Structure 1
Amino acid sequence: MLVLGNGKVITRDAALPLIEDGAVAMDGSLICRIGKTEDVKKEFPDAEYIDAKGGLIMPAFINAHEHIYSSFARGMSIDGYDPHGFLDILDGMWWTIDRNLTLHDTYLSAMATYIDCIKNGVTTIFDHHASFGAIRGSLFEIEKAAKETGVRSCLCYEISDRDGMDKAKESVMENAEFIRHALKDDSGMIAGMMGMHAQFTISDETMELAAANKPDEVGYHIHVAEGIEDLHHCLKHYGKRIVDRLMDHGILGEKTLLGHCIYINPHEMDLIKETGTMVVHNPESNMGNACGCPPTMELVHRGILTGLGTDGYTHDMMESYKVANVLHKHHLCDPNAAWGEVPEMLFGNNARIAARYFKPELGVLREGAAGDVIIVAYNPLTPLNENNINSHLVFGVTGHDVVTTVANGKVLMKDRKLTHIDEAKVMDDCRQAAKALAERINSH
């Protein structure tokens, strides 16, 4: 038994949104009781107790689009890298890195990412992996890190023809093997998808191979219209728009996640909506890559299930929340934009996306839901009530304010210290691997 108490409990349950001086009790992996601290402690006197010290007790965060393989890019300088557009960024930075990753690099990249996730209160991620230097076994290396760190993960490998058909086929088979493995896992902590890079690097032949090897229980995770070049390629080579091509290949559906969707039109939005396909918005990445601002507010208003991700740009979901909030106000020249939509994406829709791959219920604090809970060291200087919670969070909280992280009923971090990982040792291993990777890349 575990009890987190003496905090303001933000439940994300409309029936009981806020409990002053509240507590959350977990029995095994599930929440078994929520109420006033005094009552919960009295009911479970022998439980391990963690004092929130008046801070916030909240559901842990979910990241709907991550890139573990980008971990070692931070601060990396690649000789000759001088991008003048999105394709230059992909080939000059990201594809250069992923072609040089070893399986051990992938494992360490995952460890580094998961540690950052825990320290930012993220306990569930949807990752989209690429390591064309070492494809087979790469998802299993990430799973190994996921299990060691305790972060719930839906994994896939980025299928692409960009390095030839042999590697495209290897990518399909890595996905297929991992999906079959994940479907047999009954821990509730691992899932798999059929990953795809983007339509402009995938031939019809490869799409058909992926479809032939994808179990019916899962969908696809693919970048869509992230750059205008993707749309131009599809129109030029296939005479149709991107979402139409995906529809023709049976890629859309309730288990499929489309990343970005910047250059899509109302007709494509109709297809996404009618097929129940999911979308994930990654504001910082889109801005950093100078790709443009997607019509995210329109997607949300149309009832398309749209979540929030980081694209590996950060592992702090509060950072993405803050940026999305100002991006759409700025882009639409509307100070009322995004106030309701973005927190619904982060706190509501990300949980709905996760529910299509994981049980029990995530993103909410109530009896029977997953024991994924965080404590945030935030003591507001102005009144906090059930009507202004999101305003407090967007202006007052960052991921680094998370002091305790619990996933699946297990304490992963307490008082900013990881409880089950030698962080210093892992970080030292990562630093050595990252240095070696940079030297390999720049010696070519």
Structure 2
Amino acid sequence: MLILPSWLIATPHEPPKADHGLRVAGDRIAAIGPNADLRAQFPDDEIIDASGCVLAPGFVNAHTHLYGVLAHGIPLVKAPSDFWAFLADFWWPLVEDALDHEMICAATDWVCAEMLRSGVTSFYDCLEAPFAIPDALFAQKEVVERRGLRGILSFEATERVSKANGQLGLQENARFIDHCRREGGLVQGLMCFHTTFTCSAEFIQQAFALGAARGVLTHMHCNEGVHEPNYALAHFGKRTLEYYDDLGVTGPGMLASQCVQLSDRERAIIAERGIKVTHMPLSNCEVGGGIAPIPQQLAAGVTVGLGSDGYINDFFEVMRGAFLIHKAAHLNPQVMPGHDVFYLATEGGAKSIGLEQVGRLAPGWAADLQLIDAHFPTPVAAHNLYDQLVLWRNHTHVRDVMAAGQWRVRGGEVLGADLGAMRARVHAAAQRMWTKAS
């Protein structure tokens, strides 16, 4: 199959190429070149005429909570006043602790469709539902496989409920990783625990040992606001990443999400140890956590991906947030240029969550791609295309999406998705959750 667009973005580290396309064979990209050359080399291939479109890698949502959609609009008697109140008075008792398998599956199906609609073909999800295990990840996996995305699923193990529940969470991850490894499909697993203020030192070290034994990353939320570093200082006499470093768990196998409130020493530890970071610009604003020092991290060579955090799932909006917020924070319009943001949303995101040969359009790489409408009010050129896409596109401009060589969105419609029925299912799940909250 030949896909022949007006513009090709192979990798945001290179300028876009006019009138270039690619050939897909199976689940991989087989060739890239000028449209005319591809037509001549492969005259018998099916041709997808994508004139008027940009052909780009599928987005990689490097950190999300698929169940989070159920909390959109939840009734609150009193809004949380800070990050600790957000967790202790709202998110834990009213959302996480209320989840069951049906709620999780309804939300997963809806958000998978939302992600596909905005060009996301790969994602990492962190499920937080201490009373929905065992087997919550296995239920979620069936839904993701039906939608055809490339997904990495994990359960956020924590000792905040009990030590026994914490062990159940770690074993949920270990069983799931082993099962998916044997199957070798698009859905895989990852080790995960919560934070230093809900997990003991022994528990944290156990999580990393389980992840290392299976050759997967170990994820945790890190310094999402001021609460965790203040807790670490009060209880350990050092900040969060200094504590992790003393525990001997920092390194390339660590995936730290958020990383908002960092000291100079913590930023240095991340760079020196090769820790991977995921950035959620919009949700950091929602919870009042602050603005993460992402430009500094990128300058230090840190691997960074971009995520929605389950908050706003249109990935163009997430990119726009990253593009704008750091310019304001640094009083510098040159910070976080469009091509850098696009990289975080594609190849950077893939690298941050351990996906190989994903996030770039090149021979031998995964055929994960999207076609985006390129009919802008002003002329498109190589020098302005990234800014045009980041600032003036959204999910309504995504025409077609392919994951692993299979079309999942055509003409703006998610294939095989009855959105009306899916929305009704999410409404029913949300109402049950909200009833528990009232």
TM exceeds 0.5?
Answer: yes
Equivalent residue number for residue 350 of structure 1: 349
Which of 201, 204, 210 is 2:198 aligned to? 201
- Describe the SS at the equivalent of 1:280: strand
Tell me, yes or no, if the aligned pair for 2:6 and 2:19 is still in contact at 8 Å: yes
Within 5 Å, which residues of 2 pair with 1:9-88?
Answer: 9-12=8-11, 17-78=15-76, 80-88=77-85
In structure 1, distance between residues paired with 2:236 and 2:283: 28
Q: How much does 1:48 deviate? A: 4.1
- Residue by residue over 1:170-228, the C-alpha shift from the partner in whole angstroms, topping out at 9 and shown as x without a partner, is 111111111212222323x2222211112111112322432443324012111111110
Q: In structure 2, do the counterparts of structure 1 residues 248 and 139 end up closer, same or farther at CA, with 3 Å as the change threshold? A: farther
Q: Are 2:418 and 1:438 aligned?
A: no
- Residue by residue over 1:4-42, the C-alpha shift from the partner in whole angstroms, topping out at 9 and shown as x without a partner, is 224322211757x43323332211100112233344345
Equivalent residue number for residue 386 of structure 2: 390
Q: In structure 2, do the counterparts of structure 1 residues 90 and 438 end up closer, same or farther at CA, with 3 Å as the change threshold? A: same
Q: Which amino acid aligns with 1:125?
A: F
Tell me, yes or no, if the aligned pair for 2:369 and 2:402 is still in contact at 8 Å: yes
Tell me, yes or no, if the aligned pair for 2:58 and 2:346 is still in contact at 8 Å: no
Equivalent residue number for residue 3 of structure 1: 2
Aligned positions, number: 435
Q: Which amino acid aligns with 1:198?
A: T
Which of 416, 420, 424 is 1:420 aligned to? 416
Q: How much does 1:379 deviate? A: 1.5
Tell me, yes or no, if the aligned pair for 1:21 and 1:54 is still in contact at 8 Å: no
- Describe the SS at the equivalent of 1:362: coil
Equivalent residue number for residue 213 of structure 1: 210
Q: How much does 1:143 deviate? A: 1.2
Q: Which amino acid aligns with 1:105?
A: M
Q: How much does 1:45 deviate? A: 4.7
Q: In structure 2, do the counterparts of structure 1 residues 44 and 93 end up closer, same or farther at CA, with 3 Å as the change threshold? A: farther
TM normalised by structure 1 equals 0.92
Q: How much does 1:230 deviate? A: 0.6
Q: Which amino acid aligns with 2:345?
A: L
- Residue by residue over 1:315-336, the C-alpha shift from the partner in whole angstroms, topping out at 9 and shown as x without a partner, is 2222111111211111122222
In structure 2, distance between residues paired with 1:385 and 1:370: 27
In structure 2, distance between residues paired with 1:252 and 1:389: 38
Tell me, yes or no, if the aligned pair for 2:220 and 2:255 is still in contact at 8 Å: yes
Q: Are 2:88 and 1:91 aligned?
A: yes
**More displaced, 177-186 or 234-243?**
177-186
Q: Which amino acid aligns with 2:239?
A: R
Which of 130, 133, 145 is 1:132 aligned to? 130
In structure 2, distance between residues paired with 1:142 and 1:250: 32
In structure 2, distance between residues paired with 1:264 and 1:5: 45
In structure 2, distance between residues paired with 1:63 and 1:404: 18
- Residue by residue over 1:323-380, the C-alpha shift from the partner in whole angstroms, topping out at 9 and shown as x without a partner, is 11211111122222222643443344223224x3x33x11111211110110111213
TM normalised by structure 2 equals 0.93
Equivalent residue number for residue 153 of structure 1: 151
Q: In structure 2, do the counterparts of structure 1 residues 365 and 134 end up closer, same or farther at CA, with 3 Å as the change threshold? A: same
- Describe the SS at the equivalent of 2:197: helix
In structure 1, distance between residues paired with 2:102 and 2:17: 45
Q: In structure 2, do the counterparts of structure 1 residues 86 and 409 end up closer, same or farther at CA, with 3 Å as the change threshold? A: same
Q: How much does 1:257 deviate? A: 1.2
Q: How much does 1:284 deviate? A: 0.5
Equivalent residue number for residue 406 of structure 1: 402
Q: In structure 2, do the counterparts of structure 1 residues 21 and 343 end up closer, same or farther at CA, with 3 Å as the change threshold? A: closer
Which of 304, 326, 329 is 2:327 aligned to? 329
**More displaced, 39-48 or 174-183?**
39-48
Which of 233, 239, 242 is 1:241 aligned to? 239
Q: Are 2:361 and 1:362 aligned?
A: no
Q: How much does 1:133 deviate? A: 2.2
Say what the alpha-carbon RMSD is for the aligned residues: 2.0
Q: In structure 2, do the counterparts of structure 1 residues 183 and 253 end up closer, same or farther at CA, with 3 Å as the change threshold? A: farther
In structure 2, distance between residues paired with 1:113 and 1:190: 16
Tell me, yes or no, if the aligned pair for 2:207 and 2:218 is still in contact at 8 Å: no
Extract unaligned runs of 5+ from structure 1: none
**More displaced, 40-49 or 216-225?**
40-49
Within 5 Å, which residues of 2 pair with 1:200-279?
Answer: 200-214=197-211, 215-279=213-277
Extract unaligned runs of 5+ from structure 2: none
Q: How much does 1:404 deviate? A: 0.7
In structure 2, distance between residues paired with 1:109 and 1:363: 25
- Describe the SS at the equivalent of 2:327: helix
Within 5 Å, which residues of 2 pair with 1:264-303?
Answer: 264-303=262-301
**More displaced, 385-394 or 240-249?**
385-394
Q: In structure 2, do the counterparts of structure 1 residues 216 and 418 end up closer, same or farther at CA, with 3 Å as the change threshold? A: closer
In structure 1, distance between residues paired with 2:65 and 2:13: 32
Which of 345, 370, 376 is 2:372 aligned to? 376
In structure 1, distance between residues paired with 2:39 and 2:102: 45
Q: Are 2:113 and 1:115 aligned?
A: yes
- Describe the SS at the equivalent of 1:349: helix
- Describe the SS at the equivalent of 2:245: helix
Q: How much does 1:117 deviate? A: 0.6
Q: How much does 1:47 deviate? A: 4.0
In structure 2, distance between residues paired with 1:14 and 1:200: 39
